[in-house]
Amino acid sequence: MSGKKSIGVAVLGLGNVGSEVVRIINESAADLEARIGAPLELRGVGVRRVSGDRGVPADLLTDDIDALVSRDDVDIVVEVMGPVEPARKAILSALEQGKSVVTANKALMAQSTGELAQAAENARVDLYFEAAVAGAIPVIRPLTQSLAGDSVVRVAGIVNGTTNYILSEMDSTGADYASALADASALGYAEADPTADVEGYDAAAKAAILASIAFHTRVTADDVYREGITKVSAEDFASARALGCTIKLLAICERISTDEGKQRVSARVYPALVPLTHPLAAVNGAFNAVVVEAEAAGRLMFYGQGAGGAPTASAVMGDLVMAARNRVQGGRGPRESKYAKLKIAPIGFIPTRYYVNMNVADRPGVLSAVAAEFSKREVSIAEVRQEGMVDDEGAPCGARIVVVTHQATDAALSETVEALADLDVVQTINSVLRMEGTDV
């Protein structure tokens, strides 16, 4: 036991991440003390139910989170229990009592940053959340500190491991969505209810956090345009491959200028065709990667494990050591920066490219009719592929057309797709996806 005043830590939650955090606090005690300048001491672990062997001395476990957070000898609260509630209440209480907080809770940070940041500001304590985005990969700290003197233009990332596993599987095996999802579930990469992942809610929360930090503007999950991956088909992957692309669920945060020169923020999550030559195309399985483009720095990429107990615990521990150092040495980490107060650009305003896959009648004039709908809205076509189709008996039964456009506003593109759907010669619109990362 050191003679120095110790830093008391309460860990809320003892799942995959919490268990790893507790393990590292115990097993790396000497290193952590040397790095912090004082010993880190675990005062208690808050759990929903105190029961059985949880790998933690029984006297450290408690289901009274309020009491644990309020203990005088707790300096820092680590919240790794999710979901939004009761985490929000516990964190707010901790901050109001002058404790620093480290959290991995992306849904909470994407919803309640303002309230929590204000509480941290009032109490002049740290609120860190590196683990909320992309697990072990340092992203928050590089954006808030390393790029603090630069101007970020764009952040684009693969920030959800479950959907990236599913899409990588579909790409490499030709599997359809349902069977790739079943595989992911069997391997523990997808939860029993996969909605938050496959519908893009998890990625949207992370996009909101990234956009807030990158653009010094408060962005919540509700501000993020969102489409999931459930409609991506095996045929889309085949078409993508023919176009030299793969398909990834991207979280994109962008600073764009209106025609009047006003700055706006766009934050959006959707599956998109990505050229195989783009660095994000090679990010497969449960890995995450974030590409940051800044005016002076150019393009940076951060890559690593975006989820899992140990990687997430690594990010939590980094925050915990920093918060503890600040307790020992004085000073605080960066506060919330929201001075820019940029407005959110609606999705219709965003310049993007579309891939449209449709079945059409196979007769003269069809391609011309289809092309006319694009040109009417000043959408320029980059590439068209048409092939005849046959039915189960081998008889011709129309044609399939795949169109890839150049950049146009999302509004013009979606109007074009609506108009195509109304054309007599178009039988079905099979799929509409955006294309990203081509600079065209």
Which amino acids are annotated catalytic?
A: 206
Closest to a copy of itself by CB, 321 vs 417, is 321
85 marked as binding residue: no
- Bridge-based pairing state of the strands 351-360 and 408-409: antiparallel
According to CB under 8 A, which residues from 326 to 385 bind a copy of itself? Answer: 326, 329-332, 334, 337, 339-340
269 in Cβ contact with 227 (< 8 Å): yes
13 marked as binding residue: yes
Q: Does 137 bind a copy of itself (CB under 8 A)?
A: yes
According to CB under 8 A, which residues from 17 to 46 bind a copy of itself? Answer: 20, 24, 28, 31-32, 34-35
According to CB under 8 A, which residues from 269 to 308 bind a copy of itself? Answer: 279, 282, 294-305
Closest to a copy of itself by CB, 114 vs 298, is 298
Under the phi-then-psi rule, with left for phi > 0, alpha for psi from -120 to 50, and beta for the rest, what region is 66?
A: alpha
Q: Which helix (H) or strand (E) covers residue 141, if one does?
A: helix 140-141
Closest to a copy of itself by CB, 52 vs 331, is 331
412 in Cβ contact with 377 (< 8 Å): yes
CA-CA distance, 54 to 136, in Å (whole number)?
24
Closest to a copy of itself by CB, 284 vs 359, is 284
Residue count (the chain) = 440
Q: Of the listed pieces 68-76, 245-253, 323-331, 407-415, which binds a copy of itself according to CB under 8 A?
A: 323-331
Closest to a copy of itself by CB, 3 vs 330, is 330
Q: What is the dihedral of CA 81, 86, 92, 98, to 10 degrees?
A: -50
Q: Does 84 bind a copy of itself (CB under 8 A)?
A: no
CB of 342 to a copy of itself, least distance (A): 12
191 marked as binding residue: yes
Query: How many residues lie near a copy of itself (CB under 8 A)?
Result: 57
CB of 1 to a copy of itself, least distance (A): 18
Which has the closest alpha carbon to 127: 155, 152, 108? 108
Which residues does residue 266 pair with via DSSP β-bridges, in sequence order? 254
Q: Does 316 bind a copy of itself (CB under 8 A)?
A: yes
Q: Spell 73-111 as b/e; 16+ CB within 10 A means b.
A: ebbbbbbbbbebebbbebbbbbbebebbbbbbbbbbbbb
15 marked as binding residue: yes
Could you identify the residue written with the tokens 């456009």?
405
E-assigned strands of 13-143?
40-46, 61-62, 76-79, 100-103, 127-128
Closest to a copy of itself by CB, 329 vs 375, is 329
CB of 95 to a copy of itself, least distance (A): 18
Q: Of the listed pieces 3-11, 112-120, 130-138, 413-421, which binds a copy of itself according to CB under 8 A?
A: 130-138
- Residue 281: strand, helix, or coil: helix
CA-CA distance, 185 to 187, in Å (whole number)?
5
CB of 320 to a copy of itself, least distance (A): 6
Which has the closest alpha carbon to 318: 35, 106, 87? 35
Q: Angle formed by the axes of helices 161-173 and 234-242, to 10°? A: 70
Convert residues 198-227 into a mask of x (bound to a copy of itself by CB under 8 A) and - (unbound).
------------------x-----------
CA-CA distance, 318 to 304, in Å (whole number)?
16
CB of 266 to a copy of itself, least distance (A): 19
CA-CA distance, 343 to 266, in Å (whole number)?
9
CA-CA distance, 294 to 283, in Å (whole number)?
21
283 marked as binding residue: no
Query: According to CB under 8 A, which one of 184, 281, 320, 350 is a site residue for a copy of itself?
Result: 320
According to CB under 8 A, which residues from 138 to 167 bind a copy of itself? Answer: 138, 141-142, 145-151
106 marked as binding residue: yes
Binding residues for L-homoserine: 191
Residues at the site binding a copy of itself, with contacts judged by CB under 8 A: 20, 24, 28, 31-32, 34-35, 130, 136-138, 141-142, 145-151, 216, 279, 282, 294-305, 310-311, 313-322, 325-326, 329-332, 334, 337, 339-340
Binding residues for NADP(+): 12-19
Binding residues for NADPH: 106
